[in-house]
Amino acid sequence: MDKKVAEHVAEVLKTLAHPARLEIIELLETKEMCVGDIVTALGVKQAITSQQLNMMKDKGVLSCRRNGTKVYYRIENKSVIRLLHCIYDHCKTKKP
């Protein structure tokens, strides 16, 4: 693994390495959701949620569409779902 690849992989991991962002991705795994519903589901403040959503959009993980006053987010990079499942498996099988 050369430096460039390592930096890229580290970037991807940093994008996911936050509790709220992990929960957002899980919420969006099977459906798109508007910001307000995500805020409610997470119990996290609106500004923070908006910042995290925007951050993940910048990184290409999410995308969004506006419908009236609401903005619906969805997973743009589907392979993060598979990646997260690997990570959950890892965390389950870590101890033994």
Which residues sit at the interface with a copy of itself, rule CB under 8 A? 1, 3, 5-10, 12-14, 16-23, 26, 77, 79-80, 82-83, 86-88, 90-91, 93-94
Site for DNA in 36-75 (CB under 7 A): 36, 39, 45-48, 50-51, 53-55, 64, 66-71
Report the residue number, 69 or 93, with the smaller CB distance to DNA: 69
As beta bridge partners, residue 71 has 66
# chain residues binding DNA, by CB under 7 A: 24
